[in-house]
Chains A and B, each alone.
Chain A
Amino acid sequence: MSLDLIFFLLLSLISISTALGMLLSRNAVYSALFLVLNFITVAVFYLLLGAPFIAMAQVTVYAGAIMVLFLFVIMLLGAESIAGEFNWRKAVFPGALAVILAVEATVIFLTRARPVGDVAQPDASVNTVTNLRALGEALFTQYLLPFEVTSILLLVAMVGAIVLVRKEKRVH
């Protein structure tokens, strides 16, 4: 068993247990913090896979911005523990469905999508600078249109959020 594999197994253990912690904890703040830890673990996976830019974007955007927004709303609403903890009795049927889904997905991935080999060695040909340069070039040439559409999407989302939460003026 190589060092890589041991590292991977340890990290996936952390990743799965933090996801379960997010699912099972009664307090919404704990859920959010578990999810932050999960996102950071996934960022480490991205580093292992030779995608440093995505890893950093994951840490700043997901674990940083999005989860801070979540924590802010949880504390704004005082919603730490309202609306119910995990109900085991209600969870049996969805849980069974989800287990079936997991088994099916795993079987299909392992049999249909043929094993396409090992993931690239992170330090072999992909260092941070070449990765960033290639990513930037692809983003601004081949994928320029989706990039610009994303900026419009972010603008629309910002306007939408502001319109949703602003006080209604009474019009007579």
Chain B
Amino acid sequence: MVPVNYYIVLSAILFTIGVVGVLTRRNALIIFMSVELMLNSANLAFVAFSSVIKSFSGQIFVFFVIAVAAAEVAVGLALIVEIFKSKRSIDVDQMSSLKG
């Protein structure tokens, strides 16, 4: 039997790696992937707690998070493609002007 604390610590570590990715990388795609990693670690905590209290609510929440992440990725990647078309780069440091 694995204590639930181990899952929570793992989830915290994965979340932190995602935070480091968002803060340090300059490639917009990698930043996006780090956000996915953070969502995923939150999902892991949800499922771990739902398994401990023997309720399905956590799993249903994860289901909704996955659906929202899919919608977010579709719109976000469309935005990245548009930015690349106008600036020929997806470096987030260069996205400093409001007008394309």
Residues of B near A139 (CB, < 8 A) are: 60, 63
Residues of B near A65 (CB, < 8 A) are: 70
B40 and A4 within 8 A (CB): no
B60 and A135 within 8 A (CB): yes
A23 and B20 within 8 A (CB): yes
Residues of B near A16 (CB, < 8 A) are: 10, 13-14, 17
> Which among B34, B49, B51, B57 has the greatest number of chain A C-beta atoms within 10 A?
B51
Residues of A near B59 (CB, < 8 A) are: 51, 53-54, 135
Q: What is the size category of the interface that chain B forms with chain A?
A: 35 or more
- Which of B3, B17, B74, B92 has a CB less than 8 Å from the CB of A20? B17
A62 and B63 within 8 A (CB): no
In the complex, A83 has a CB within 8 A of chain B:
yes
Residues of B near A31 (CB, < 8 A) are: 29-30, 33
Residues of A near B57 (CB, < 8 A) are: 138
Which residues of chain B (39-65) have a CB below 8 Å from chain A? 40, 43-44, 47-54, 56-57, 59-60, 62-64
Partner-B contacts on A (CB < 8 A): 2, 4-5, 8, 12, 15-16, 19-20, 22-23, 28, 31-32, 35, 38-39, 42, 45-46, 48-51, 53-54, 57-58, 61-62, 65-66, 69-70, 73-74, 76-77, 79, 82-84, 86-87, 90-91, 94-95, 97-99, 101-102, 105-106, 109-110, 113, 115-121, 134-135, 138-139, 143, 146, 150, 153-154, 156-158, 160-161, 164-165
11 residue pairs from A and B, CB less than 8 Å apart: A22-B21, A57-B63, A62-B66, A73-B80, A76-B81, A79-B29, A83-B28, A84-B25, A106-B9, A110-B5, A157-B72
Which 9 A-B pairs give the minimum distances between C-beta atoms? A94-B23, A157-B71, A83-B91, A102-B16, A118-B1, A161-B78, A164-B78, A105-B12, A91-B24
